[in-house]
Amino acid sequence: MKYLPGYTLEEFRKDLENSGFEPYRADQVFNWLYKRGEEDFGAMTNLPKGLRQLLASRYTASSLSLIESIKAPDSEKFLFRTRDGQTVETVLIKERDHNTLCVSSQIGCAVGCRFCATAIDGLVRNLKTEEIVDQYLKVRKITSEDIRNVVFMGMGEPLANIKNVRKAVEILISRWGLDLSKRRVTISTSGLVSGIRKMAEDPLLREVNLAVSINSPFEEERSRLMPLMREGSLEELMEELKSFPLKPYRKITLEYVLLSGLNDTQDHAKALASLIGTSKKRFKVNLIPYNPVPDLPFARPSIKKILEFQRTLWDRGISTFVRFSKGIQTFGACGQLRASRSYAKISNQ
Ligand code: SAH
Ligand code: SF4
């Protein structure tokens, strides 16, 4: 079987041409799939019967099946099964005027951040393009929600799977695909310098938002927290970010998970401000109060501590926001549902 959401329009046109059909038929199929959310080839009534039969015998639009979903007033978490029996998490976050989908890019993660539930299993495998795109298609179908924002902040390190992530982004932002605005797609990375360089050189990837998890402004502490982040020093990372091609008024987000008694001191806030230095217009900081993971020895700082940290950055002219991510707050950070063996463990937290 071939997975349709893993194809670009051009590739699918070629495929159909090779089977003796006119290439514009590919545009029609994509229109059904992406604009109307129709996965069943039999229902694509403007296609000739022969093509519908060929599609049904060789292709499928679906690579994920829903295992369970957990609903909260402002968000919903989905656990999907892949064809090879793995599990993938996706979170829909409902904000006042829009919805954001938090997608996974890998099963597990090799970076091994000490505080992260996804790191517990190590890396199982990369997600395929169709498995990334299908997270969007499935959640849209299940919820009937209009989803305009996509963030790669679920399980995995997107830049360690850059080829499949790039193609998924192409499908998300192309007219013939899901037609999202480039400005509404965000790739969050733990800071792979070579990956960020590839993004900078890629006309498609450099147009989407870049968020980078800093988590500590001190080299040694950072490598303790994010142990397999061996690539490049913090200084090299900041250099790379300071030269990243940015359109006017666009900013790179620096993400900072606040861990009580660990990286939440005034010294940390000041050192973070120094890392940014004079490039204040280029960056904004998102402070993410830690969401405790069972069995991991970290806690969320008090509100007072969080606001003091924010204040220190504001006082130095740095746009800083506290992101009590709704999905994260309700369900635990991405990776937690998969990591827990049972539904009950999560709902009792
Ligand atoms: N691997 C990428 C993207 C996925 S993690 C990255 O690290 O950026 C997305 C964000 O969630 C990161 O900033 C990460 O530091 C943060 N995060 C991970 N576990 C968390 C937890 N338990 N509580 C709060 N934030 C967490
Ligand atoms: Fe991987 Fe990101 Fe979790 Fe670190 S925080 S282990 S990079 S998913």
pLDDT digits (tens, 9 = 90+) for 35-84: 999 999 999 999 999 999 999 999 999 999 999 999 888 889 999 999 99
Task: State how far the alpha carbon of 221 is from the alpha carbons of 76, 225, 229, 268, in Å.
Answer: 34, 6, 12, 11
* pLDDT at residue 273 in the model: 98
Which atom of ligand 2 sits closest to the CA of residue 156? 8
Give nearest CA residue, ligand 1 atom 7.
190
In this predicted structure, what is the pLDDT of residue 286?
95
pLDDT at 160 over 60: yes
Q: Which atom of ligand 1 is nearest to the CA of 332?
A: 22
**Residue pLDDT, tens place only, 7-45:** 999 999 999 999 999 999 999 999 999 999 999 999 999
Residue-averaged pLDDT of the chain:
92
Structural domains of the chain ordered from first start: 2-60 (1.10.150.530), 64-347 (3.20.20.70)
Alpha carbons 126 and 123: distance in angstroms, whole number: 8
Q: Which protein residues touch ligand 2 with a CB less than 6 Å away?
A: 109, 111-113, 116, 118-119, 156-157, 190, 226
Phi, psi of 15 (to 5 degrees): -55, -45
Q: Give the pLDDT confidence score for residue 323 in this predicted structure.
A: 86
Is residue 348 scored above 60 in pLDDT? no
Among 88, 123, 127, 188, which is best to mutate for testing ligand 1, by the most ligand atoms less than 8 A from CB? 188
Sheet holding 75-82, edge to edge: 64-72, 75-82, 87-94, 99-102, 149-152, 185-189, 209-213, 252-258, 283-289, 320-322
pLDDT tens by residue, 91-109: 999 888 999 999 999 999 9
* The two three-digit tokens of residue 190, written as one number: 């733990």
75: helix, strand or coil: strand
Confidence band (pLDDT; 50, 70, 90) for 261? very high
Is the pLDDT at 334 greater than 60? The verdict is no
Minimum mean pLDDT range among 49-58, 81-90, 290-299, 312-321: 290-299
- pLDDT value of residue 232: 80
Residue 114: closest CA among 266, 275, 290? 290
CB 174 within 8 A of CB 167: no
Please name the residue that has the structure tokens 């499949």. 164
Residue 325: the pLDDT is 59
Ligand nearest the Cα atom of residue 102: 1
Using the predicted structure, report yes or no on whether residue 122 has a pLDDT greater than 50: yes
The answer to whether 152 and 103 are in contact (CB under 8 A) is: yes
Q: If you take atom 4 of ligand 2, which residue's CA is the nearest one?
A: 113
Amino acid, single-letter form, for residue 88? V
328 lines ligand 1 (CB under 6 A): yes
The pLDDT of residue 172? 98
Inform me whether the pLDDT recorded for 256 exceeds 70. Answer: yes
